[in-house]
Amino acid sequence: MVASSKSFLLVAVLLVALFQTAYASIYSQLQFIKIQEPKNGQDFRAGEKLVVKYVMQPLVYEHTSMGRALSLDINFHRRTGNQKQQQIAIIHKSCPVTAKQDKFVTYKKQWTIPKNTKPGSYAVDFIELVQLRRGRITATETVKVNIVD
């Protein structure tokens, strides 16, 4: 009976882990920022404007203050599969992360993809430095985009 319970528990844990891995791309890895644009898998052309749009969570959300974003950097990388290759450009260094006490704040920036960018798979990386109650962490989220002819 005990061995059966342990086996069932192990299978349940593995199924939960598999489910979370399969659907991980739907959930934001960032702590206080929700990315609205670009969308995962979106196609662009070299020389085209890429819109970066993100929303800052209020400082007090659902009656709780968990911390705040200290900084946000956005970079553009070439990628192969899920592996980042070389960094092509810095889209924005130290993006605005000012949040209001009780309102969501939306920030938007346009960036032009370099004209000499070859077709292929690329990534827009959002790197957020977060101040929590008992320390700091760095959270990263990658949005995969494609450059087409």
Hey, how many other C-beta atoms are within 10 angstroms of the C-beta on 81?
A: 7
Hey, how many other C-beta atoms are within 10 angstroms of the C-beta on 124?
A: 22
> Please, which residues have CB within 8 angstroms of residue 116's CB and are 6 or more apart in sequence?
46
Residue 144 predicted with pLDDT over 50: yes
Query: Which domains can be identified in the chain, with CATH numbers?
Result: 29-148 (2.60.40.2300)
Give the pLDDT confidence of 22-74 residue by residue, as tens digits: 444 434 567 788 899 999 999 999 999 999 999 988 887 677 777 788 889 99
Residue 21 predicted with pLDDT over 50: no
Q: Which pLDDT score, from 0 to 100, does residue 67 have?
A: 78
In this prediction the pTM is 0.73
Dig out the tokens for 121 from the structure.
């798979």
What is d(CA 27, CA 46) in angstroms, rounded to the nearest whole number? Answer: 29
Q: Which pLDDT score, from 0 to 100, does residue 81 have?
A: 75
Q: Which pLDDT score, from 0 to 100, does residue 29 have?
A: 64
Q: Which pLDDT score, from 0 to 100, does residue 6 have?
A: 75
Give the pLDDT confidence of 99-136 residue by residue, as tens digits: 888 888 999 999 999 999 999 999 999 998 888 878 88
Q: Which pLDDT score, from 0 to 100, does residue 46 have?
A: 93
Tally of CA atoms within 13 A in the half-sphere of 66 that contains its CB: 9
Q: Which pLDDT score, from 0 to 100, does residue 14 have?
A: 66
CA-CA-CA-CA torsion sign (138, 102, 38, 96): negative
Residue 93 predicted with pLDDT over 50: yes
At residue 83, φ and ψ (nearest 5 deg) are -95, 125
What is d(CA 101, CA 81) in angstroms, rounded to the nearest whole number? Answer: 40
Q: Which pLDDT score, from 0 to 100, does residue 27 have?
A: 41
Q: What is the arrangement of strands in the sheet containing 120-132, beginning at the earlier edge strand?
A: 42-45, 135-148, 120-132, 67-80, 83-92
What is d(CA 43, CA 126) in angstroms, rounded to the nearest whole number? Answer: 18
Confidence of residue 3 (pLDDT cuts 50, 70, 90): low
